[in-house]
Amino acid sequence: MPEMQTNPDLENTGIITIVPMKPLSESKSRLAKSFSQEDREELSLGLLRRVTEAVKASSIGELWVVGGDTRVRDAARNAGGQWIEEMGQDLNDTLGKAFERAFELGSAAMYLASDLPFIKASDVLSVQEASRQQNNISLAPARRDGGTNAILVPKGELFRPELGGKSFIRHLSQAAQLGISVAICYSPGLGFDLDTPDDLQAYEHMEPGLMERLLPGRFP
């Protein structure tokens, strides 16, 4: 059996994880009927902390939180990450520029969504491992809306994020056009993002007390 080749650039220290954020005042608008603006802001921060804690526990390279506001900046720095101001005109432009900066520094680039309530270090490591073994890109599809919650691109690949509705299919198509192989990562931690009241209801069954942990002091 031939020895499996791995990409040394995808060892833990060779990856920059990039988590984009909106200003908290613009976050979680689809929850406006269920939560006040203050609670939506705190919820977004609570979700961001879960993501940054998982990245930190995975010991994968650097963490960049891109965009947001001063509270996002403080949360990123408290997690041991670097905060970077908004870099582009929209989410995909920002991510594309952040990926380019990571590549210029000699690292692979990994996008993670900021609103993954069940993410763990093992989920982050699974994205890395899937790409490292065969020098693939790695994609983690969202379970509900056809989106993409994680992307890892090795240094030097031309692949760029195309986030938005049904983005997972667009990412597969882009990879096929570029002739790049894809590793697909499935797990609750990567697949479930939190956007709607229906999400909240379902996730409370999956992790009783979730909202109390994400919004401490908000519930009797």
The answer, yes or no, to whether residue 157 has pLDDT greater than 70, is yes
pLDDT band at 133 (very low <50, low <70, confident <90, very high): low
Q: What is the spatial distance between Cα 114 and Cα 82, in angstroms, rounded to a whole number?
A: 15
Q: What is the 3-state secondary structure (H, E, C) of the chain?
A: CCCCCCCHHHCHHHEEEEEECCCHHHCCHHHCCCCCHHHHHHHHHHHHHHHHHHHHHHCCCEEEEECCCHHHHHHHHHCCCEEECCCCCCHHHHHHHHHHHHHHCCCEEEEECCCCCCCCHHHHHHHHHHHHHHCCEEEEECCCCCCEEEEEECCCCCCCCCCCCCHHHHHHHHHHHHCCCEEECCCHHHHCCCCCHHHHHHHHHHCCCHHHHHCCCCCC
Of the chain, the percentage scoring pLDDT greater than 70 comes to 91
> Quick one: pLDDT at residue 2?
36
Rg (CA), the chain: 17
> Quick one: pLDDT at residue 4?
35
User: What is 11-214's CATH superfamily?
Assistant: Spore Coat Polysaccharide Biosynthesis Protein SpsA; Chain A (3.90.550.10)
Q: What is the spatial distance between Cα 67 and Cα 59, in angstroms, rounded to a whole number?
A: 23
> Quick one: pLDDT at residue 220?
53
Tens-digit pLDDT profile for residues 186-213: 999 999 999 988 898 889 889 998 888 8
pLDDT band at 54 (very low <50, low <70, confident <90, very high): very high
> Quick one: pLDDT at residue 15?
95
Contacts of 168 (CB under 8 A, 6+ apart): 139, 141, 142, 146, 147, 148
The answer, yes or no, to whether residue 135 has pLDDT greater than 90, is no
Least trusted range by pLDDT, from 15-19, 110-114, 153-157 = 153-157
| Stretch 106-135: mean pLDDT | 91
pLDDT band at 3 (very low <50, low <70, confident <90, very high): very low
Tens-digit pLDDT profile for residues 81-107: 999 998 888 999 999 999 999 999 999
> Quick one: pLDDT at residue 176?
96
